[in-house]
Structure 1
């Protein structure tokens, strides 16, 4: 198991630089926010076996998801492309094993994980890399392991905007294509729904009115 060390593309460098510069603002925005991702994390947690190993892709500053995973007593791995985010997360969850860098370059043993959380992270990959990323997650999971993640809902190969005052990059398939991509990676979809990030969000919030495809999926048990 090794850190991701691949050279970054222009798009990924935009993501890395943006989150490095906004790290503390982003942390303040998310750390006490009970949004849908906490519910989906709870769904993952309730199915963890004893002595589980779990991974969060796009852990940010460690709150609230990494903290939730760490409290289970599982062995927790954490990845983020932003060095500044990783440094904040280390202070919050020092018991986790941190694997900084490009998620697509993570080196994780096959069938070694029991759960993977990836909220608002896979969408930062160019969409041509997203099917391969899901296949990697499938390979890392043990049979019966589950993953919870978000994908965007629009058909757009490139979405660029300002996020907390920083340039940012996202990429997406439409909902039907995203579901097909998840199934093509070998997953059984347990739950899939299009939801706003949270209810009663202030109109000035960056997530006001924004919808994502929320997915809980399982790597099927191997045939006997």
Structure 2
């Protein structure tokens, strides 16, 4: 396995710079109401075999998902495009193996992972790179391995706005197309639900009124 080191596109540079600048503020915010992340991470952990290896893509500052993986006893790998986020996560999960940089450039051995979490990270890729990213995750997972991740719900090749005062980039397919993309990557969808993570938060919260598609999927067992 190698770290992801590659020249970043302008869109990815926006994402990297934005999270570098907001790292501590974002860390405080993500720990306020992480119920859906915890729920899906608990499912992944419950289904891990002994001596499992897991990966979080977009680990942020390490809470709550990376901490949960670390506490499960699994070997933990962690990726984020933001150097500032990685530095915070290292303090929280010092035994994890950190692989900073562009998620699409990660070099991970085929069939070497047992679970992959990617909450609110794949949506930061340009839309044309999302199908390939899902195919990479499928290739990294062992047969029967599981993944949980979030996608957005709108048909938008480019979403630009501010997030905690910083310029930010996202992209998205609609729900039907997103599900088809997941299946085309070879996954069996176990759960797919549209949830509003911030509905109980203040109306000024960045996620208030925003819905995301939460996916739990499995790499099918190989046919003998």
Question: Does residue 120 of structure 2 align to residue 120 of structure 1?
Answer: yes
1:5 aligns with 2:8: no
* Structure 2: gaps of 5 or more residues: none
Number of the residue aligned with 1:89: 89
Counterpart CA distance in 2 for 1:195 and 1:34 is 13
Aligned residues: 224
| Offset, 1:31 | 2.4
CA 1:24–1:89 in structure 2 vs 1: closer, same or farther (change >3 Å)? same
Note if contact 2:198-2:205 (Cα within 8 Å) is conserved in structure 1: no
CA distance in 1: counterparts of 2:100 and 2:11, whole angstroms: 17
- Greater shift, 199-208 or 187-196, is seen at 199-208
SS of the aligned residue for 2:25 comes to helix
In structure 1, the residue matched to 2:60 is 60
| 1:101 matches 2:116 | no
Give 1:163's aligned residue: 163
TM-score when normalising by structure 1? 0.99
Confirm or deny: 8 A CA contact 1:36 1:198 kept in the other structure.
no
Q: Deviations over 1:130-161 (max 9, x none)?
A: 00000000000000000000000000000000
1:49 is matched with which residue?
A: 49
Distance in 1 (CA, whole Å) between partners of 2:31 and 2:69 is: 14
Cα-Cα RMSD: 0.7
Aligned to 2:111: 111
Matches within 5 A, 1:4-43: 4-43=4-43
CA drift at 1:34: 2.9
Look up the match of 2:148: 148
1:211 match: 211
**1:73-96 residue CA offsets vs partner (Å, 9 max, x unmatched):** 000000000000000000000010
Contact 1:32 1:64 in 2 (8 A): no
**C-alpha distance in 1, partners of 2:51/2:2?**
21
Task: Give the superposition deviation at 1:198.
Answer: 4.1
Q: Which moved more, 1:196-205 or 1:9-18?
A: 196-205
Paired residues of 2:192 and 2:214 also in contact (CA < 8 A):
yes
TM-score normalised per structure 2: 0.99
**Unmatched tracts of structure 1, length 5 or more:** none
How far apart in 2 are the matches of 1:198 and 1:187? 28
